[in-house]
Amino acid sequence: MKKQKLSVIIPCYNEEKSIEPLYKAFKRCFSVLSYNIELIFIDDGSSDKTIVELKKLLKKQDFEIEVLHFSRNFGKEAAMYAGLERATGDYVGIIDADLQQKPELLVEMVQVLEKKEEYDCVCCYQERRIEDKTMTYLKKKFYALINKISEVELVDGASDFRVFRRYVVESILSLKEANRFSKGIFSWVGFNTYYMPYTPESRLYGKSSFGIKKLFLYAISGIISFSVAPLRIATFGGLLVSLLCFLYLVVVIIQKIFFTIDVPGYPTLIVTVLLIGSLILFCLGIIGEYIARIYMETKKRPLYITKEELSNKKKS
Ligand code: UDP
Ligand code: MG
């Protein structure tokens, strides 16, 4: 029988110090698996020596290794997509390069799929977040909101640290959108996911690329990719404001005609004008966010550009 294959996708951005220890960890843990292993490293336009470290790995022959070198930083989403496109394994896993996600867990995830036929994908989720309380709170709120207003169901703390069966990868790749919010895509394609709790290690080298601003924009992009509910704010907000305006109009007319009370002019006027003006701008902003994404989608630009594609596979 043909030996099965596990592909591992590793997006790397400024991870020069982690590459070697990560490779050693792979060597240590993958020995228990009787699979052919394919490692796909993506250097997402790092400004440090990540590519030099990756090229060193190509001299080794423990695993099949592919190295993709992006022409600039296109983001983790693009890197994961490029990896999924190239993965040829029966099982395909994604793991961060920074050693926060232990490769031992990747092995455990594969073993879950081996044992439990009813599952198509395994996903590690953080049972307990290691970040500060505000961040944990904000993330919790984000998950509650997106689950409420979108068609996808996201598990709080679910990471991109996953293993898929081949057909799941095919279905993920069939979603061609340029604005990729993978957590949503993984959930949107459906299938049976096994959620495995894990606690990420702290970062040994370098620093996280996901600061609060990037995470905030990522959250907005997630909501816009999977929900049209924000667009309805304009409809319902508009309806509500017109109703309130109408009620106020009735009050003003009654005051004027029946009680001959002088209707206060300037403050009411300025507050109303400013309020309605800002509401209109707010709604235009939301519409703008959607239009911007339609614009980017229609350009059909590639998700990434590769500078080099290298491999240690012997050309036959
Ligand atoms: N990463 C990437 N491109 C980017 C940012 C990050 O490929 O633009 C990679 C990074 O090298 C790491 C993984 O994505 O392997 C997760 O990034 P990071 O550790 O910065 O995120 P965090 O663990 O803090 O969520
Ligand atoms: Mg990390």
DSSP 140-201: HHHHHHHHHHSSS-PPTTEEEEEEEEHHHHHHHHT---SS--HHHHHHHT---EEEEEE-PP
Tens of pLDDT, residues 18-67: 999 999 999 999 888 888 999 999 999 999 999 999 999 999 888 999 99
Find residue 40's DSSP bridge partners: 9, 66
Tens of pLDDT, residues 180-193: 999 999 999 999 99
Distances (CA, A) of 65 to 5, 54, 74, 195: 13, 9, 21, 28
255 burial (CB, 10 Å; 0-12 / 13-18 / 19+) is middle
212 falls within a domain = no
Ligand 1: residue of 15, 54, 76 to mutate (most ligand atoms within 8 A of CB) is 76
Residue 316 has pLDDT above 60, yes or no: no
178 falls within a domain = yes
What tokens does 75 get?
């983001």
Percent of the chain with pLDDT over 70: 98
Residue 129 has pLDDT above 80, yes or no: no
Cβ-proximal residues to 113 (8 Å cutoff; 6+ apart), any chain: 91, 119, 120, 121, 122, 163, 165, 194
**Sheet containing strand 158-165, strands side by side:** 193-198, 121-126, 158-165, 91-94, 5-12, 36-43, 64-70, 306-311
The bound ligand whose nearest atom lies closest to the alpha carbon of 73 is 1
Task: Please give the average per-residue pLDDT across 251-255, as a whole number.
Answer: 84
pLDDT of 254: 87
Pair (182, 292) in one structural domain: no
Pair (242, 138) in one structural domain: no
Q: Considering the entire predicted model, what is its pTM?
A: 0.87
Q: What is the CB-side half-sphere exposure of residue 157 using CA atoms within 13 A?
A: 16
DSSP state of 256: H
d(CA 210, CA 59): 32
- The phi, psi pair for 290, rounded to 5°, reads -70, -45
220 falls within a domain = no
Ligand 1: residue of 17, 54, 96, 138 to mutate (most ligand atoms within 8 A of CB) is 96
276 falls within a domain = yes
d(CA 107, CA 103): 7
Least-confidence region, from 29-33, 231-235, 259-263, 280-284: 259-263
> Please, what is the average pLDDT of the chain?
90
Pair (41, 153) in one structural domain: yes
134 falls within a domain = yes
Query: Band of the pLDDT at 136, cuts 50, 70, 90?
Result: confident
Q: How many CB atoms lie within 10 A of CB 172?
A: 22
Pair (35, 131) in one structural domain: yes
pLDDT of 202: 83
69 falls within a domain = yes
Residue 263 has pLDDT above 70, yes or no: no
Q: Separation of 258 CA from ligand 1 center, angstroms? A: 68
Pair (110, 96) in one structural domain: yes
Pair (45, 16) in one structural domain: yes
Task: Please give the average per-residue pLDDT across 234-260, as a whole number.
Answer: 85
Pair (156, 30) in one structural domain: yes
Pair (197, 262) in one structural domain: no
CATH number at residue 145: 3.90.550.10
Find the domain containing 288 and state its range: 229-299
Pair (120, 239) in one structural domain: no
Q: Which atom of ligand 1 is nearest to the CA of 13?
A: 11
Pair (141, 273) in one structural domain: no
Pair (37, 87) in one structural domain: yes
Query: Band of the pLDDT at 315, cuts 50, 70, 90?
Result: low
Pair (266, 173) in one structural domain: no
Q: Separation of 236 CA from ligand 2 center, angstroms? A: 40
316 falls within a domain = no
The bound ligand whose nearest atom lies closest to the alpha carbon of 14 is 1
Q: With a 6 A CB cut-off, is 208 part of the ligand 1 pocket?
A: yes
Q: With a 6 A CB cut-off, is 126 part of the ligand 1 pocket?
A: no
Counted domains in the chain:
2
224 falls within a domain = no
Ligand 1: residue of 8, 13, 102, 161 to mutate (most ligand atoms within 8 A of CB) is 13
Find residue 198's DSSP bridge partners: 126
Q: Separation of 94 CA from ligand 2 center, angstroms? A: 13
